[in-house]
Amino acid sequence: MTQRKRQRRRRGRRGLAGRTSAGLFVLFVLAVGAGIGGLSGVGWVVAIAATTPPIEELVPQDKGRSSQIFAADGSLLGYVVSDEIRAPVPADQHPRDLRNATVAIEDERFWSHEGVDFEGIVRAGLANLESGRTVQGGSTITQQLVRALYIKDPERNVQRKIREAKLASDMEARRSKQWILKEYLNSVPYGTVNGRTAVGVEAAAETYFAKHAKDLDLAESALLSGLPQAPSQYNPFRNPEAAITRRNQVLQQMIDTCVKRCPSFRRRARRAMVQDMRLRRGNRYTKRREPHFFDYVQEQLIEEYGVSVYRRGGLKIHTTIDPKLQKAGREAIANQLGYPDDPSSAVVAIDPQTGYIRAMTSSGTYDERTFNLAAQGKRQPGSAFKTMVLTTALRRGVDPRSTYYTSKKLDLDLPGTAENYEVQTYDGSYGGRMDLVKATLKSDNTVYAQLDVDLGPERVAETARLMGITSKLDGFPAEGLGGLRLGVSPLEMANAYATLAAGGMRSRPKAIRRVDFPDGKSDELGKPRRKRVFSDGVAAEVTKVLEKNVEAGTGKKADIGCPAAGKTGTTDNFNDAWFVGYTPKLAASVWVGYPNAQREMRGVHGVDVAGGTIPASIWGAFMGRATGGGGCGSFKSPENPVQFTPFYGRYASGGAPAPDPTSQEAQSTEQYGTGTGGAGTPYTPPPATPTPQPSPPEADSETDTGGADDGVPGE
């Protein structure tokens, strides 16, 4: 047969099908019209049918599927929880027993009718009259699919039935029976469990049997096929006896309508009738890996697209999180804090070049605490905030190696105020005259308090904001020592230090790389949003100092044998302890403390928990895993080295007055702090703090001390 003849034959079949469908629909119209009452009824039915648009002009409702969230390696983190669970699958994943059971109980003449089953309508009508209530429906599978796809908020009236019949006839003329059955099995609701309705057999198979639809056996297929007519009544979790009765009714109907291999099928069906239901409540659509990060991503989705898009479903969300780093973070915490009464901990890691959040994990389980310590917990950072003071100094062109302060107990008269600022070291020992490098390695509170006042606390707050701190800062002197009124989160601290690792380029932290929509479109959210906030020379000089701190200062326990820079932080009475640092490729923060109270961490595994103890060890273990196999890398030499200017502040010694960059700041925040120091501008004292706050709680002692810690006195 030639290609042209085959095409003519197919056109002829389609035309015949269309004429047959139209003829059957005319019979339906006449039957309904006669039932309503004579020729006037027929005319009314014809009028209703005439107002129904052709099916090809209608847009089917996109039922979509439950939204999915994926890790950076493509593995599934979980499904976004909603009122409906939807997971359409191809026809080859609908087992034959399931298809046959559905046709047998829902529409036994499915393979022979043209969309409307007149015998079925008559049979259902007689059965309903006999029982005095609705016990059978006359709608075919095709009509039910039309209702699901094209009719919103269907009403139970004759007009809807007429429109359904017209559209069902159109659908049968344009679609194959196999396509119709597949779409039906993916669209019909199979009942509600724990507030979520399973739509489609894949969702139903997981909900009732914790398996895929393709793995259903005959008894399970029959049970599911019996649910759509009355999902609540036959719900096997609520009414097992009714469910078994309904299942066996489906199996008997399959026997009665068997047309092939009936003897062997009868034996299989009778065995299925006496089989236990073997229910197993599934959790595939409710179980989530990394639930705290999962919640964070959901919040980002709603912020980006609004609640309506989020609830509509059908999204595929590809995130930045690395499961291997998540595991490394959990294990690093567990190896240090493994007992029930131990403090909690959180780890956040960020890629400095992109802002991608690579790890966000904490101790404890989601069942124990839904609060996300890594992103939502805000605590005092202690001396980890001294890095912001050091960065501010370098933005001013201050040479940390030739600028000296005297380590001593302080009782400062703040300029323009009547308040005193009292600061002391943790153990009451003082090192005398020292430069800023040595003061950083010792984490000397008194030196950094003087430096902060000389620079201007409001400028330190400005630097912190430029680096990525988003929590409210007040510009008080004690903030430079970590005495913040509202605290900061591990996520903020990791991002601030990532700005140093990136050479002065601040990135916006990102958890989502891409969102795929049901219509095939994608939204690339992973493009880095970066801004230069100070020169790479400033970042490089800070890095040199913080590298020494890991090599020989309070952060020695964070040494991983690769280039690394970081700073410890401990608050008054050991309530909070931190280590925040970075390698050339990754920045990470570690916080340790009790999340629900300001509780002293004394005698934990034999130590008082300061930043240089357990937090530094957690950081080292985590970053050791993170850098393993990928090479250490090295910090780049800056393209714009800092031009140092000798600095005299109110308390500093070691050179000439430093310039005041106020005029540059007024022009551009980006220009301020390029490392040139603004030569030629006379030095003026920083403006007075608007509301002096001498030594807020937890601000006047940083306790990463030597003695009991790592041999570095005076922090």
698-711 residue pLDDT tens:
333 333 333 333 32
- Residue 601 pLDDT exceeds 80: yes
CATH number for the domain including 364?
A: 3.40.710.10
Indicate whether 428 belongs to any domain.
yes
What is the reported pLDDT for 311?
A: 74
- Amino acid occupying residue 570: T
Task: Categorize the per-residue pLDDT at 583 as very low, low, confident or very high, splitting at 50, 70 and 90.
Answer: very high
- Considering the domain architecture, whether residues 45 and 162 belong to the same structural domain is answered as no
Q: Are the C-beta atoms of 589 and 580 separated by less than 8 Å?
A: yes
Which range scores top for mean pLDDT: 34-38, 300-304, 371-375, 386-390?
386-390
- Considering the domain architecture, whether residues 266 and 405 belong to the same structural domain is answered as no
| CB burial readout 191-218, b (16+ within 10 A) else e | bbbeebbbbbbbbbbbbbbebbbeebbb
Which range scores top for mean pLDDT: 61-75, 278-292, 322-336?
322-336
What is the reported pLDDT for 390?
A: 98
What is the reported pLDDT for 44?
A: 52
Indicate whether 405 belongs to any domain.
yes
CATH number for the domain including 218?
A: 1.10.3810.10
Number of residues written out for the chain: 715
Share of the chain above pLDDT 70, in %: 78
- Considering the domain architecture, whether residues 215 and 358 belong to the same structural domain is answered as no
Indicate whether 126 belongs to any domain.
yes
- Residue 505 pLDDT exceeds 90: yes
Q: Are the C-beta atoms of 447 and 439 separated by less than 8 Å?
A: yes
- Considering the domain architecture, whether residues 20 and 166 belong to the same structural domain is answered as no
What is the reported pLDDT for 199?
A: 93
What is the reported pLDDT for 10?
A: 40
Indicate whether 316 belongs to any domain.
no
Kindly state the tokens that stand for 523: 């939204």
Of residues 136 and 608, the one with the higher pLDDT is 608
Indicate whether 710 belongs to any domain.
no
- Residue 18 pLDDT exceeds 90: no
Cα dihedral: 11, 17, 22, 28 (round 10): -170
Of residues 527 and 647, the one with the higher pLDDT is 527
- Considering the domain architecture, whether residues 577 and 525 belong to the same structural domain is answered as yes
From residue 274, alpha-carbon distances to 221, 251, 252, 268 in Å are 15, 11, 12, 11
Query: What is the tens place of the pLDDT at every residue in 545-582?
Result: 999 999 999 999 999 999 999 999 999 889 999 999 99
Of residues 4 and 275, the one with the higher pLDDT is 275
> What number of CA atoms fall less than 13 Å from residue 469's CA on the CB side?
27
Give the 3-state secondary structure of residue 437.
Answer: helix
Domain boundary among 228, 258, 273: 273
- Amino acid occupying residue 380: Q
H-run or E-run covering 590: strand 587-593
- Residue 315 pLDDT exceeds 60: yes
* Burial class (CB within 10 angstroms; exposed 0-12, middle 13-18, buried 19+) of 409: exposed
Indicate whether 75 belongs to any domain.
no
What is the reported pLDDT for 597?
A: 84
- Considering the domain architecture, whether residues 346 and 405 belong to the same structural domain is answered as yes
Of residues 713 and 457, the one with the higher pLDDT is 457
What is the reported pLDDT for 262?
A: 85
CA–CA dist 641, 539 (Å, integer): 9
Task: Categorize the per-residue pLDDT at 667 as very low, low, confident or very high, splitting at 50, 70 and 90.
Answer: very low
- Considering the domain architecture, whether residues 353 and 269 belong to the same structural domain is answered as no
Q: In terms of Cα–Cα distance, which of 311, 294, 306, 301 is closest to 375? A: 294
CA–CA dist 618, 335 (Å, integer): 8
- Considering the domain architecture, whether residues 380 and 428 belong to the same structural domain is answered as yes
In DSSP terms, which residues pair with 578 in a beta bridge?
Answer: 569, 591
From residue 269, alpha-carbon distances to 178, 225, 442 in Å are 24, 14, 80
CA–CA dist 61, 466 (Å, integer): 47
Domain boundary among 667, 682, 710: 667
The bridge status of strand 68-70 relative to strand 316-319 is parallel
Query: What is the tens place of the pLDDT at every residue in 156-214?
Result: 666 777 888 888 888 999 999 999 999 999 999 999 998 889 999 999 999 999 999 99
Cα dihedral: 461, 462, 468, 472 (round 10): 50
The residue segments making up the domain with residue 579 are 327-667
Of residues 630 and 276, the one with the higher pLDDT is 276
Indicate whether 317 belongs to any domain.
no
Q: In terms of Cα–Cα distance, which of 509, 465, 463 is closest to 351? A: 509
- Residue 443 pLDDT exceeds 90: yes
- Considering the domain architecture, whether residues 58 and 28 belong to the same structural domain is answered as no
Kindly state the average pLDDT of the residues 450-462: 95
Task: Categorize the per-residue pLDDT at 596 as very low, low, confident or very high, splitting at 50, 70 and 90.
Answer: confident
What are the backbone angles phi and psi of residue 10, rounded to the nearest 5°? -65, -40
DSSP letter assigned to residue 88? -
- Considering the domain architecture, whether residues 29 and 56 belong to the same structural domain is answered as no
- Considering the domain architecture, whether residues 582 and 595 belong to the same structural domain is answered as yes
Domain boundary among 273, 295, 312: 273
Q: Are the C-beta atoms of 491 and 348 separated by less than 8 Å?
A: yes
CA–CA dist 268, 264 (Å, integer): 6
| CB burial readout 616-646, b (16+ within 10 A) else e | bbbbbbbbbbbbeeeeeeebeebebebebbb
Kindly state the tokens that stand for 339: 């007992």
What is the reported pLDDT for 59?
A: 66
CA–CA dist 498, 586 (Å, integer): 7
Share of the chain above pLDDT 90, in %: 62
Task: Categorize the per-residue pLDDT at 31 as very low, low, confident or very high, splitting at 50, 70 and 90.
Answer: low
Give the count of domains, the chain: 3
The 196-199 sheet, strands edge to edge: 84-86, 196-199, 189-193
- Considering the domain architecture, whether residues 45 and 92 belong to the same structural domain is answered as no
Indicate whether 388 belongs to any domain.
yes
- Residue 62 pLDDT exceeds 90: no
DSSP letter assigned to residue 19? H
Q: What angle do CA 463, 586, 451 make, to 5 degrees?
A: 30
What does 523-547 look like in DSSP terms, one character per residue? EE--S--EEE-S-HHHHHHHHHHHH
Q: In terms of Cα–Cα distance, which of 606, 536, 528, 615 is closest to 569? A: 615
Task: Categorize the per-residue pLDDT at 686 as very low, low, confident or very high, splitting at 50, 70 and 90.
Answer: very low
Which range scores top for mean pLDDT: 144-153, 646-655, 662-671, 688-697?
144-153
Q: Are the C-beta atoms of 578 and 611 separated by less than 8 Å?
A: yes
- Amino acid occupying residue 186: N
Tokens 């020494």 belong to which residue? 548
What is the reported pLDDT for 668?
A: 31
Task: Categorize the per-residue pLDDT at 259 as very low, low, confident or very high, splitting at 50, 70 and 90.
Answer: confident
What is the reported pLDDT for 509?
A: 97
- Residue 615 pLDDT exceeds 70: yes
Mean pLDDT, the chain, whole residue set: 83
Give the 3-state secondary structure of residue 213.
Answer: helix
